Amino acid sequence: MTRVFNFSAGPAVLPEPVLRQAAAEMLDWQGSGMSVMEMSHRGKEFVDIHARAEADLRELMAIPKNYKVLFLQGGASAQFAVVPMNLLRGKDRADYVNTGQWSKKAITDAKKYCKVNVAASSEGDNFTRAPKQSEWKLDPDAAYVHVTTNETIGGVEFHWVPDTGEVPLVADMSSHILSRPMDVSKYGLIYAGAQKNIGPAGLTIVIVRDDLLGQALPVTPTVFDYKVQAENDSMSNTPATYGIYMAGLVFQWLKKQGGLAKMEQVNRSKAALLYDYLDQTEFYHSPVAKDDRSLMNVPFTLRSADLDKAFLQTTEAAGLTQLKGHRSVGGMRASIYNAMPVEGVQALVECLKEFERKHG
């Protein structure tokens, strides 16, 4: 068996010990005689798996008691509509910060439910930076302020928490949740699709302050009414049981690594390895403003796009896969989530050096 270093933006690399444990438990989960996939979501075994996953996530992120944790489906993309459906609370408008492809999509869907004020945008700079708070023009009557705290495609991350006063802050954290400690109490709602930094695709995590629940628009599907899901332990319908189990194994793995403060140290040193190399050569280029660079998604270009194909062949041959950048940005993108070992980043940097020696 050969495992590659997988730099995919998502679905993405998972911790090898998690995959091994899932494999070992595949046919018979802890003496139950069944796979987790075969269990009733209301049976004791699965109810325990679900409760442990939630408890571990609460511990890892230090989620305050007045926040609900929901395990939903539909991906982060469903939340683009589900957030306004639930959080308008009698208001007719919301603020959005436009920092890239994912915030744009969130804005497009929100417009179906309310007026959208684009409070700040980095589109004029080709989405290569996070707009400073001083540029934001917030509407005091907004129901909430939405921000994509890590733009997976552009590689732009907010390394600070925006201040929105009394207006709830809503964050799409899909691609950097669990990469470092976040102060949950600063947010009204956090959502994330699982397939970047949590587990397999099919599970979406929503963390929401409980005073924001209970005023969903009448058109809201029952399975997307946060209050209904909160009252039913996310089991208003059958949840993504296997995804919750896998996420739970990842949470246990993160606790074993030393928690999110430790993950931040590791992630910072991994990212520094790569950015430092990109910055000290003319051959490669990172387009993102230094203060706003993502620790998780690192886009970069080669001196000439004519070299892209040869570069991808070279990295592929070295066992480094899925480095092709998003079609909207071009070049390369290395996603270096929690589960990417430092050895993978070291191997990538070696490959960058070697390729530059040959083609520079």
Q: Note the residues at the interface with ligand PLP (CB under 6 A).
A: 10, 75-77, 102, 148, 152, 172, 174-175, 193, 196
Using the minimum distance from each CB to ligand PLP, give the nearer residue, 171 or 332.
Answer: 171
Using the minimum distance from each CB to ligand PLP, give the nearer residue, 108 or 265.
Answer: 108
Give the nearest residue (CB) to ligand PLP.
75
CB of 105 to ligand PLP, least distance (A): 7
Query: What HEC string does the chain produce?
Result: CCCCEECCCCCCCCCHHHHHHHHHCCCCCCCCCCCHHHCCCCCHHHHHHHHHHHHHHHHHHCCCCCEEEEEECCHHHHHHHHHHHHHCCCCCEEEEEECCHHHHHHHHHHCCCCEEEEEEECHHHCCCCCCCHHHCCCCCCCCCEEEECEECCCCEECCCCCCCCCCCEEEECCCCCCCCCCCHHHCCEEEEECCCCCCCCCCEEEEEEHHHCCCCCCCCCHHHCHHHHHHCCCCCCCCCHHHHHHHHHHHHHHHHHCHHHHHHHHHHHHHHHHHHHHHCCCCEECCCCHHHECCCEEEEEECCHHHHHHHHHHHHHCCEECCECCCCCCCEEEECCCCCCHHHHHHHHHHHHHHHHHHC
Catalytic residue IDs: 102, 172, 196
Using the minimum distance from each CB to ligand PLP, give the nearer residue, 226 or 284.
Answer: 226
CB of 235 to ligand PLP, least distance (A): 21
CB of 162 to ligand PLP, least distance (A): 16
CB of 352 to ligand PLP, least distance (A): 24
CB of 328 to ligand PLP, least distance (A): 13
Using the minimum distance from each CB to ligand PLP, give the nearer residue, 95 or 356.
Answer: 95
Using the minimum distance from each CB to ligand PLP, give the nearer residue, 75 or 239.
Answer: 75
